[in-house]
Structure 1
């Protein structure tokens, strides 16, 4: 059981509460909780601080966790001993909780209350001394507490019949260091890699797992290292990660799953192959120029019959027919599993299924030649036909087809079933659970869902997802991207989903599709997700080439997006000026865009030493917001804050403070005085008062800002700490003053 799955089981009542439907057990964050690198979410600790919920927790432990423990009494006794011996816990607290331990009937309630007490205690971050990880030596450093979200998924519990392959793979890795595990889709490559990691775990210092998303460079950049500063660029993140991975020795195994491209399609492969650690790739591609291990079908029909029996309870009763079904689907592991689940669901009898498969097989070329498809991957036509036949036999409902259609866009790593259900506005998880039962949807204890690659290809072909048919999903993703100041911990998966939409969706409603791209780009910019930003720019370029597609505003936005990624100031300025030139007449429909363009251009002039031009465009930006009654919108906050800072730099701090005070009043009137926008304005006021040496006022405004940050970023104490460090660097004296208050905010 993975760490997130364990916490899903433990905190089931919290996760099932409708108030927490957006909460996701992000693997990296969970790892930080369990290794003492971050305080557990205050949402969880607040929920279990209520006595009624502590009783629920005790019952959940009894139902979900005790059955998994070999000696629960010993575990309970060890926990009690640690509790009693902890000299940081008061005698009064020990007496209060110990009274529940003595009677066996209340022992689980003791454990539930102890867990709640532990979550509410002052948090002290564990020092992992990461700087020692790069020390020299013959062995790799242990990276378990250093690289989050790199745990190898467990193989399926029905994994059988590959003992010989496991041994051969071990020998091949020892002799060659880098091995490509090749084979057709559904033959069991990923499961073999996971089983190998489990079987040979003690042979390695570390085993790391990366799910390939189409770009090795980006996948390494996106790895979650515990000491990555939040403010560093993508390029800096990549350099840090790549340098560290290069330092690992042959006692580390790196698994790169689903590397379904050729060497020419991902040029970064040559860099990764210079790593000294062992690397196991799983791939459908033909990479014969490298060391490859070709995975074949399991030819022992008894093993595959055993697999069938795991899913079909009446397999023994119809053994002869079941064995013929196995032969008919060419011993293909995934097809055997799907057939067994179809039979268990009672959709077809073994005889009916066999007849249907034999009929389909007879219509195909009997030679069953391996064919090479355009991206260098190999497949057998009959295998896809078998899976297609099994897929069609289910006669999925219209709702289930719609879900399958949208599931095609999820990343290989999957996403929370509850979050996906919310994206599609599904009232329950019933339809998704039914699809899990069919075997079409893969899941980890029903929390994270994804499509098997073969099913994804068939679903794409059958459902033909388009902008029109998937409008609910696109609208949901846009809403998240437009929720100003709201951050989601699954943003990488959201961006990967958007990337898959760009690649796979049929663009039958171009205006709606362009709007989707234009709304997602700024949210990617917030996280500096340059891979996705570049994809959107390229997509907009392709669509806006013909003059009859898109509007002037679309073309202006494209130029503005290009300026965002442009590193040369003079080119960025030209792009913003060209963007403004696209808009001939300013109207209520485009005033917000034109205001933003003037603000961006003014910011570029300010950064590059042109104060007169900076003032001209900044003031034009704010005057447009005022003229069209837009001062209350979120775009006005950075524009006015930047203008106020500019005025202060130009020796006009009083005007800057006046502008910010007016903005504070507008935010308070239209929104509230405890939102993130209000905090940002208070922080800017504090900064200006610092610059003018008005320490008392600076303290007042910084304290107001931090009171809001502490509330909004309750789940992310690292962000509060980073903000404190930022202010401390601005002015050590105010930093020390806030630090005394902040220590309480970060640890209570």
Structure 2
């Protein structure tokens, strides 16, 4: 329950009961006559004053402290009593009703203001004194609440902006008013109703209409985990070394700083509050929360959205999407009745009519062919977890899709979107994934209502109801979504090319894996296998174990029993053990995988030679990493040499050019540096340099790690100028490649173990800072040494926080 004794609430009661000829600015000037002039000096000042007074009255800004100070003493209080008696009360239509509203606010706020204070206020008999004391308490309450007004997040929040409201939004005036009324007294309000009835548009319209009231409006599309949705937000101070826990903590810290002048919309929350473990904690915050859902929720204030009742509004809604329908109003009325005034179906009926070249009576005839006998009086049952089928609605939408005469390209776009996240994907990403020559068909589908085009966040998606229908009608599978699968698969195989903000891409990959129909097992398995190291690269650890289970299940169901596939699955399971720091289990699984490969009879004739060699070499390399974690450096060195020897022995297969070879080369450089063999270390590093520059260029993370290694060698050789040149270059290149000023940038597997004695995914800059501090300290440049010591400490503290999050 909110504190209702605020200036906005108290003045709201006065404004609701004033006579029409008594404007808001007059009321405010009369309230604060000691500080405000009776009239503004000119039109410009009056306009500015009106804006300022409106912000005070709607709670967007507090009454200034200098005005408050004038009314803290008896003189100010007595003056306000006089002003109420002589100026304000005579302009109220119903004084007793105004007092009743204020007493109701007091009673509803007893838990906050205290029983004693509530009884004290209600006991005041004189109306002018009562109004004055309630008003003064409200002003003091506004200022005494610490951090009442939210920090403005506009400049640092890079995502989750309020999507644009459809320009054809019509009606729902009563629901909008009810929403505002409930949010005035409740912190959490649910909007519920059947799929496609207009819940999301109502929430967006309310927020857009009241945007001046709020300091921040944040839009969250629920994906099944509120905690993950918060972590997936993008802020300007996110860094690439922040894992999901660190991102969540950073983002939620900002959300906790928001107050009642901020609105958060949680859209598509089609679960019961108890089904999301974090929801109970989330609703304790001070911001206003507006939730859309298909579920009936009893424990929170709610608005149930039903079909638009006004026939005039429905005709206007239909005409706004199909202007020529005005010529046959009676038939349009029958169409609206036939689809039972279901908002989404009405809109798509109008759009289909406009796009399909049909006459209204032809459309009506098609809709009547559904063969279902469901009357207007029947209620559509609501279910949770998305099980919201209603036969009539589904059949109508299917028919509308069929008569829209979509071409094969448009159908293909819808089919691929049906297996992508319902929260949306970036429009340009989608174009690239499907290799579309233009966005003409995407824009056409958006224009005719099949695709939702979120211009504000640059995303497209399907309405959940449309998505489910398209999925069932078009059966998206590996063979008919091959371009999308191949594009996402190719991204998994890109090494050294760091992708900015991959979160949307990762969500797309996971959604495709979860939803696509597998009709080509070999292709599907290879996609899953190559996706695992990509998720590892970006520390998507919660899904890695699910992915390993899916690979195992697929191999079992399809009787895939090749030695390479079994060994690779063991390696992935070993990596999961390694992440859990169960190093002994990781060693056993990798040794078992190596044993499988090395003891397979006639290996070279029965499987792809290059894949076999590459996997065997990687297994030894990965085994070396586990031994390093166990501090068994001799065994680590032995395993790494074995990995390297395998690649050298089969250089004619082209295996030297793979990215896995780069990791092994850098690991070998590290071993040689630790052993003091700087000459051989430089020789191997030169080979690494040539491979990176020939295949990736000079602006990648791998090349930055190369310069870092060169700087370390030069430092150990006592060449400070060369060391400084390389280390500063490494700092610049790694900064640019990781783009630490942005969020969710890529990290690479390459140089992690090469420059530190522990394994971590995001140590690069910390290593650079440490070596530069060492260099400047030895070079007698104390100011520079201190600068990089502070950078190193900051990086270390951030890393420790991440380790704490992972272990929590």
Residue 554 of structure 1 aligns to a residue whose secondary structure is: helix
Structure 1 residue 463 displacement after superposition: 0.4
User: Residues 174, 358 of structure 1: CA spacing in aligned structure 2 closer, same or farther, 3 A cutoff?
Assistant: same
2:587 alignment partner in structure 1:
573
Shift in Å, 1:611: 0.6
CA displacement at 1:459 relative to structure 2: 0.4
Residue 394 of structure 2 is matched in structure 1 by 384
Question: How far apart in 1 are the matches of 2:528 and 2:191?
Answer: 37
Distance 2:438 2:255 in 1: 43
Corresponding residue to 2:487 among 476, 497, 507: 476
Find the counterpart in structure 2 of residue 150 from structure 1.
Answer: 160
2:679 alignment partner in structure 1: 654
In 2, Cα distance between the equivalents of 1:232 and 1:384? 43
Matches within 5 A, 1:329-368: 329-360=339-370, 362-363=372-373, 368=378
Selected match of 1:267 from 277, 287, 311: 277
Name the CA distance, whole Å, in 1 between partners of 2:742 and 2:275: 40
CA distance in 1, matches of 2:763, 2:206: 40
Within 5 Å, give how 1:672-683 maps onto structure 2: 676-683=701-708
Would you say the 8 A contact 1:560–1:576 is kept in 2?
yes
Distance 1:174 1:203 in 2: 12
**Counterpart contact for 1:680–1:705, Cα < 8 Å:** yes
Residue pair 1:183, 1:295 contacting (<8 A) in 2 also? yes
Change (3 A) 1:666 1:152: closer
SS in 2 for 1:327: helix
How far apart in 1 are the matches of 2:706 and 2:480?
42
Aligned length: 606
User: Is the contact between residue 644 and residue 660 of structure 1 (CA under 8 Å) also seen in structure 2?
Assistant: yes
Question: Counterpart of 1:623?
Answer: 645
Shift of 1:521: 2.2
Offset of 1:489 from its aligned partner?
2.9
Counterpart position of 1:462 = 473
Kindly state the Cα deviation for residue 670 of structure 1 after the two structures are TM-superposed.
Answer: 5.9
The answer to whether structure 1 residue 732 and structure 2 residue 732 are counterparts is no
| SS of the residue 1:450 aligns to | strand
Question: Is 2:459 the counterpart of 1:448?
Answer: yes
Q: Select the structure of larger CA radius of gyration.
A: 2
* Secondary structure of residue in 2 paired with 1:254: strand
**CA-to-partner distance for each residue in 1:486-519, whole Å, 9 max, x for gaps?**
2333521111111211221111112211111122
Equivalents in 2 of 1:228, 1:604: separation in Å? 30
CA distance in 2, matches of 1:612, 1:470: 49
Give, in whole Å, the separation in 2 of the partners of 1:145 and 1:425.
Answer: 33
Note the residue ranges of structure 2 that are not aligned, 5 or more in a row. 1-144, 604-608, 747-761, 777-783, 789-808
Structure 1 residue 208 displacement after superposition: 1.4
Q: 1:199 to 1:666 in 2, by over 3 A?
A: closer
The answer as to 2:621 corresponding to 1:599 is yes
Aligned pair in 2 of structure 1 residues 351, 695: CA closer, same or farther (>3 Å)? Answer: same
The equivalent of 2:8 in structure 1 is none
Q: Quote the Cα distance in structure 1 between the aligned partners of 2:669 and 2:763.
A: 23
Q: Any residues of structure 2 matched to 1:3-402 within 5 Å, and which?
A: 136-263=146-273, 265-360=275-370, 362-363=372-373, 368-373=378-383, 375=385, 377-402=387-412
Structure 1 residue 191 displacement after superposition:
0.7
Cα displacement (A) at 1:695 = 2.0
Q: CA deviation at 1:418?
A: 3.6
How big is the shift at 1:427? Answer: 2.4
CA contact (8 A) 2:496 2:696 kept: no
CA positional deviation for 1:282: 1.1
Q: Is the Cα–Cα contact under 8 Å of residues 728 and 734 in structure 1 kept in the other structure?
A: no
How far, CA to CA, are the matches of 2:731 and 2:768 in structure 1?
11
Q: Secondary structure at the match of 1:555?
A: helix
TM-score, scaled relative to structure 1: 0.74
In structure 2, what is the Cα distance between the partners aligned to 1:391 and 1:738? 67
Of 181-190 and 256-265, deviating more is 256-265
Deviation at 1:460, TM superposition (A): 0.3
* Of 362-371 and 410-419, the range deviating more from structure 2: 362-371
* 1:541/1:136 CA distance change after superposition, 3 Å: farther
Pick one of 407, 411, 417 that aligns with 2:427: 417
Q: Which stretch has the larger CA shift, 714-723 or 501-510?
A: 714-723
Distance 1:251 1:238, change over 3 A: same
Cα distance, 1:177 vs structure 2: 1.5
1:479 CA drift (Å):
1.1
Whole-Å Cα distance in 1 between the matches of residues 696 and 786 of structure 2? 26
State yes or no: 1:635 paired with 2:660.
yes
Which residue in 2 is equivalent to 1:608?
A: 630
CA shift digits 1:2-30 (9 cap, x unpaired): xxxxxxxxxxxxxxxxxxxxxxxxxxxxx
Q: What displacement does 1:723 show?
A: 6.3
Q: Distance in 2 between matches of 1:437 and 1:178?
A: 34
What is the Cα deviation at residue 261 of structure 1? 2.8
**Does structure 2 conserve the Cα–Cα contact (< 8 Å) formed by 1:152 and 1:209?**
yes
| C-alpha distance in 2 between matches for 1:444 and 1:733 | 50
Q: 3-state DSSP class of the match of 2:265?
A: strand
1:485 aligns with 2:483: no
SS at structure 2 position matched to 1:208: strand
Distance in 2 separating the partners of 1:555 and 1:136: 60
- What is the root-mean-square deviation in Å for CA atoms of aligned residues? 3.1
Moved more, 270-279 or 495-504: 270-279
The CA deviation at 1:218 is 1.1
- Is the alpha carbon distance of 1:691 and 1:274 closer, same or farther for their aligned partners in structure 2, counting shifts above 3 Å? farther
Provide structure 1 residue ranges, at least 5 long, that are not aligned to the other structure. Answer: 1-134, 741-748
Could you tell me how far apart the structure 2 residues matched to 1:265 and 1:455 are? 25
* Offset at residue 694 of structure 1 (A): 3.3
User: Distance between the aligned counterparts of 2:714 and 2:232, measured in 1?
Assistant: 38
SS of 1:256's equivalent in the other structure is strand
SS in structure 2 of the partner of residue 536 of structure 1: helix
Give the CA deviation at 1:325.
0.8
Equivalents in 1 of 2:177, 2:585: separation in Å? Answer: 57
> For the Cα contact (< 8 Å) 2:566–2:593, is it kept in 1?
yes
Aligned with 1:527 (options 527, 538, 554): 538
Say whether the 8 Å CA contact 1:284–1:377 is kept in structure 2.
Answer: no
